[in-house]
Amino acid sequence: MGFGQSPGDGTYTALDSALDTSPYSARPFIMIDQPAVYLKPGDRADVTATISIPSGTRDGGRYAIILVHPAAATSGAPTAFATAVAIPVFLTVKGGTATETGEISAIEPATVEPGQSFQVITTFSNTGNYHYYGAVNNVTILDEKGMVVATVRTEPLSRAIIPGQSVTFRNMIGTGLQQGNYLVTSRIEKQDGALLAEKMKTLQAGNPAPVRATPVPTTIPGFGALTALIGISIMLYGTLWSGKGGKGR
């Protein structure tokens, strides 16, 4: 079995991953002695799961879920009441190297309404080869002057994030922002403060102020008097030229 994530809430569900090809899947390592058992009301049965690690398995962790659930009714009718038990399997390869890394793929939103509360949503993926607990999301917002206007932090995540899995963190900014442009920094850290991933993104509150064009003067200030003097000099030169016998019009 593989791990899955419920949309948007950061919780997890068990998925029947018949095509589970993750390099960190432990499904091929597990054998169930009784894939199906028949129980009458009040009956109990022992089911044994045998885990065998193939030689050559190296580095990191391997993960699976053993899911115990009612089989479909022989008549094809839906079961009136059904329960299921999901048993997580976490294996650490002995002598291997555990790599704990991550990547932030998205920070939302890009725009917000001025003065209104909003959520900063960070999508994070485990890019390492080992799981970790207690991941925390720290968000800092700076204004155009570089001043901190908001800082928020999630509670440590109670569930493990396994390799290849994505988790959504949500931080509420309750005070709202004035109109303008901001810089959002989102950090995912382990509970001990070790950095897993960091990403920055611009945030716009409201519409940007309209750009006003600066009028360009038709004449260069201070050059009006000089232009007049040049004109007078040309007239005087023409007069003197005519007085000396030059051809004038």
pLDDT of residue 146: 96
Q: Which residue has the higher pLDDT, 18 or 213?
A: 213
Does residue 120 surpass a pLDDT of 80?
yes
The single residue listed with the structure tokens 């800092």 is: 140
Does residue 116 surpass a pLDDT of 50?
yes
Which residues 6+ apart lie within 8 Å of 136 measured at CB? 153, 154, 155, 156, 157, 188, 189, 190, 191
State the alpha helices, DSSP H only, in the chain. 224-243
Instruction: Classify 232 as helix, strand or coil.
Output: helix
Q: Which CATH number fits domain 102-205: 3.40.50.1970, 2.130.10.10, 3.40.50.11610, 2.60.40.10?
A: 2.60.40.10
pLDDT bin (cut points 50, 70, 90) of residue 157 is very high
Range 138-145 average pLDDT: 97
Residue 9: name the closest of 169, 125, 173 by CA: 169
Range 53-58 average pLDDT: 90
Q: Where in the chain is the domain with CATH 2.60.40.10?
A: 102-205
pLDDT bin (cut points 50, 70, 90) of residue 212 is low
Structure tokens at 249: 């019009």
Does residue 72 surpass a pLDDT of 80?
no
